Amino acid sequence: MTWWHRLFHRRRHEEQLEKELRHHLDLHTSDLISQGYSREEAQRQAQLALGGSEQVKEMCRDARGTRWLEELLQDLRIGVRVLRKNPGFTLIVTATLALGIGANTAIFGLVDALLLRPLPVVKAPGELVLLMRGDGRGPALSYPDFTVLRERNEVLSDLALYTQAPISFGNNVRSEVVLGAMVSSNYFDVLGIKPAFGRAFLREEDRTPGAHPVVVLSHSFWQSRFNSDPSLVGRTIVLNSRRLTVVGITPPGFDGETPPMKVSLWIPVMMMSTMRWEPRESETRPDPLSNRQYENFGAIGRLKQGVSITQAQAALETINHQLEQSSPPPPEQRFDSNVDRSLRLIRPQGVMIGPIREIALTSSRLAGATVLTVLLIACANVANLLMARAARRRKEVAVRLALGATRGRLIRQLLTESVLLALVGATAGLFLAYLINQLLMAFKPPFPPPFTFTLDLSFDVRTFAFTFLLAVVTGVIFGLVPALQASRPDVLPALKDESNAEGTRVRWLNLRHALVITQVALSLTLLISTGLFLRTLRYARQIDLGFKPDHVLAVSFNLKLQGYNEAKGREFYGRIVERLERLPGVQTASVTNVLPLGFMSLSTPVMPEDRDVPPEERVFAGDVSVGSQYFETIGTPLLRGRAFTAQDTINSPPVAIVSEKLARILWPEIKESGEALGKRLRVGRSDLISCEVIGVAKDSRNNIFNRIDKEPEPTIYRPFAQNYSALASLIVRTDGDPRGLISGVRSEVAALDENVPPQNLQPLSETVSLASWSARTGAAVLGVFGLLGLVLAAIGIYGVMSYSVSRRTREIGLRMALGAKTRDVIKLIVQQGMGLTLIGAVIGVMLAVAVTRLLASLLYGVTATDPVTFAGVVLFVIGVAVLACYVPARRATKVDPMMALRSE
């Protein structure tokens, strides 16, 4: 029998104890009767010999060792009774705690999904490690280095290779782009994944390039595109215009090793060249499988039994170090001091895309700090309420102390009550957290497909455990001080109903004041942070991007996936622009190699032709190649000179348009940007092209990597015809809502080549809005919680002032009897409240100065100590506090002096 067994069979035990003692008494009684006693006397004697039944039972219960639990149950019963007797109090406290705890549960759920949750479906995810570079880059290995690391190490049971890229999937009706992965044949073995249907890859599929056109599909891809047709295994599908045989389907729930990106299919890495995998601009690089400079592969390994991640890292780094000695790093990394090429192992947990994980870390810290602050404010409120109630319960407590209850026992009972409150609040908080999470999902970053961003925010065991623990800790935090206060054994005055015992009152109120001050300070800090984000948002809306995203539809293509060569690609882009221009509602259309504020930015060294510049001093400029009506379409003003025309072809003399900034950097001597016209420059990394400047464009964020707050960089524009890119986007300026053109664009593309999938077909404004996503989310999350904190603080001030007024009824009555006017009384009360608020505000401002500095990286257009925000929020908080004081103050003036004087 275990203690919980005994506890849960408590009633049966009680019955059995009763029965056992009864049995004893009966036997003894009959023995005594047989010795000649009368029945009554015998019963009396037997009872006497045994002692008081209740005492014996109590001792037996003690002997059972479940005493503390039984007391706990008793406390819980008392607690439930007390709470049910004060439904109003219980409701307010529960609601307050539900808000505080619910917010924390919601954010924990998010942090869990973003940072903690292990890779789903795989076997023993704790043994898996991803190989990253010391500076956090990954995937960043070359294939030859991977094979060396795999063969020479003795710390991993095996190491698998992967690399991801968009891949076009043609299904004869309409083609689309999905995220695919190229992997070594042992990939699924390392992860411990058994296919739901068919097989994983075979060893021989890892040997000969191009020999095994096979593919494994993810369960969700198979479900959504092939209606879970089991006969698909063995048939072929078309990927990047190649036929591949489906050999297996993964078990449900597995979407690759880097959530939240959903990988839809896996192909042996030996198919890389055949599949025209390399999606970036083509350089004249050799086969990626033999090129040590092509570092786009990731590796995931499984630790051998008993090998720690630190040991494995050290062992792999030794091999990596030897590799580094034998070959120089890729050229673009050679002079960059931020590059750290050592190897680092990390466990796949939560979101594994480096930059997203960085954002997740920052925002988790921020959100965590915010909700903890809200919880602290809520705790302060509840503590205040409990103390007010403890004042009313002093008599009950005094009676219990007088009857011999120990102080510890009493504190335990009061704490049980507060933990009970917290648990009820936490239960309500779970529902609230569910709602908050639904809301949070609305703020998920709107990544364009195929980069489907999936985040499972459903509660798991960890979430429940966290909430339960938080509730218990919360209950103790807000319950301890009131319990200590309430159980102080000053029995006599309490019994005599001297509720105004001077000494105690002053000390109690001081503690309550401290709580109000804390609340004001904390909510002020939250609101100031919110204010800064709101100002950032306002700035983001007013910012001059340098282009006009409204009314522009954008669509991207990667013609290399379809095997287009340069001539064919040029023709495709030329003809599609013509077709789109003819669509009704289209003003202009053009082509460009890079979309503003998207997920790509290109740069190239530029130098003036009339001066010799050493390589390390070359200017790097944004490298944008554009079609003829680009500037009208994107909305970037051309300040001087002419735009590109159809006459600027591959055979005509090379020309360029520079941004104002580039003009000033290249030719510092010019006073007016027009002077740059006609000058010549050289552009490119290795084979320099000499161009004539034919125009100057206004500075614009046309080549900035998805950060709206980055200043425009110097940019060189070249004709698309003279600087072709297989990876390019079309932009279309429309009369009305650009969404109206989506289907039109789709059918024009299909009419030209049905196998070319349009990617990221969406209004340009969405790309731009993604660039201010972090500020918007920050403002929304902080704003909601900041207001929540303020409401709680206002309730706190109101509660304290009401309590204070109720305690001072007599004094106020006396004042009014002596001739004080309504105004004087209000002033008296409000002044007291304002005193607290102002102290809180001062502390809050100091706190905010310290805290907002940490937000600086997320803010732009506004300093972390923006005086407007600070002043505005302080005034706002004071206003709310005045209101919270005024209501009880009004009530105080309604006091009837005679009643007040008699009342005590």
Partner 1 sequence: MKPKSDLPQGTLDLLILKVVALGPIHGYAIAQRLEQVSRGVVQVPQGSLYPALHRLENRGLLAAGWKVTDTGREAKIYRVTRKGQTQLETETAGWQRLTQAVSLILKMSEGGAG
Contacts to partner 1 by CB under 8 A = 16, 19-21, 23-24, 26-28, 49-52, 55-56, 59-60, 62-65
- Evaluate whether 870 touches 528 at the Cβ level (below 8 Å): yes
Given the complex with partner 1, which of 42 and 874 has the nearer CB atom?
Answer: 42
Please, which residue, 28 or 776, has the CB nearer to partner 1? 28
Q: Which is nearer to partner 1, 26 or 204 (CB)?
A: 26
**Spatial contact of 583 and 748, defined as CB atoms under 8 Å apart:** yes
Asked if residue 890 lies in contact with residue 798, where contact means CB atoms within 8 angstroms, the answer is no
Q: How far apart, in whole angstroms, are the C-alpha atoms of residue 92 and residue 427?
A: 15
Whether the Cβ atoms of residue 727 and residue 279 lie closer than 8 Å to each other: yes
Separate counts of helices (H) and strands (E) for the chain: 26, 21
Rank residues 48 and 403 by Cβ distance to partner 1 and give the closer one: 48
Closest distance to partner 1 from the beta carbon of 13 (Å): 10
Q: Which residues pair with 658 in a beta bridge?
A: 696, 716
Cβ-based nearer residue to partner 1, 30 or 208: 30
What CA–CA distance (Å, rounded) separates 453 from 612? 48
Distance (Å, whole) CA 841 – CA 810 = 31
CB nearer partner 1, residue 63 or residue 442: 63
Q: Which is nearer to partner 1, 12 or 680 (CB)?
A: 12
CB of 14 to partner 1, least distance (A): 12
Asked, as a colleague might, if the bond just before 260 is cis with ω within 30 of 0, I would say yes
The alpha-carbon radius of gyration of the chain (Å, integer) is: 37
Q: How far is the CB of 22 from partner 1 (least distance, A)?
A: 10
**CA–CA distance, 526 with 102 (Å, rounded to integer):** 17
Q: Which residues contact 651 (CB under 8 A, 6 or more apart)?
A: none
Nearer to partner 1, 16 or 273 (CB): 16
Rounded to whole angstroms, how far apart are CA atoms 807 and 817? 17
Query: Please, what is the minimum distance in Å from the beta carbon of residue 37 to partner 1?
Result: 15
Instruction: For residue 855, give every residue at least 6 positions away whose Cβ sits within 8 Å of its Cβ, in sequence order, or none.
Output: 366, 529, 532, 533, 778, 864
d(CA 73, CA 81): 12
Number of Cβ atoms within 10 Å of the Cβ of 501:
14
550 C-beta neighbours (distance < 10 Å), count: 13
* Of residues 47 and 147, the one with the C-beta less far from partner 1: 47
Nearer to partner 1, 21 or 33 (CB): 21
* Cβ closest to partner 1, residue 20 vs residue 550: 20
Q: Which residues pair with 244 in a beta bridge?
A: 237
Q: CB-wise, 32 or 805, nearer to partner 1? A: 32
Q: Which residue bears the tokens 């192992």? A: 345
Q: Which amino acid is at 253?
A: G
Is-contact 715 701, C-beta < 8 A?
A: no
Q: What torsion, rounded to 10 degrees, do the Cα atoms 496, 502, 507, 510 define? A: 120
Least distance CB 36 / partner 1 (angstroms): 16
Q: Which of 350, 347, 372 lies closest to 361, judged by CA?
A: 350
Structure tokens at 566: 């340069």
Question: The dihedral of CA 413, 414, 415, 420: what is its sign?
Answer: positive
Q: How far is the CB of 8 from partner 1 (least distance, A)?
A: 16
Taking the complex as a whole, how short is the minimal distance between the CB of residue 5 and partner 1, in angstroms?
12
What are the structure tokens assigned to 556, written together? Answer: 């991207």
**Dihedral, CA of residue 518, residue 521, residue 525 and residue 527, to nearest 10:** 110
Q: Which is nearer to partner 1, 52 or 210 (CB)?
A: 52
Q: Which of 157, 151, 216, 155 is nearest to 183 (CA)?
A: 216
Q: Would you say 45 or 769 has its CB closer to partner 1? A: 45
Q: What angle do CA 329, 330, 336 make, to 5 degrees?
A: 80
Query: Token match 């869990």: residue?
Result: 112
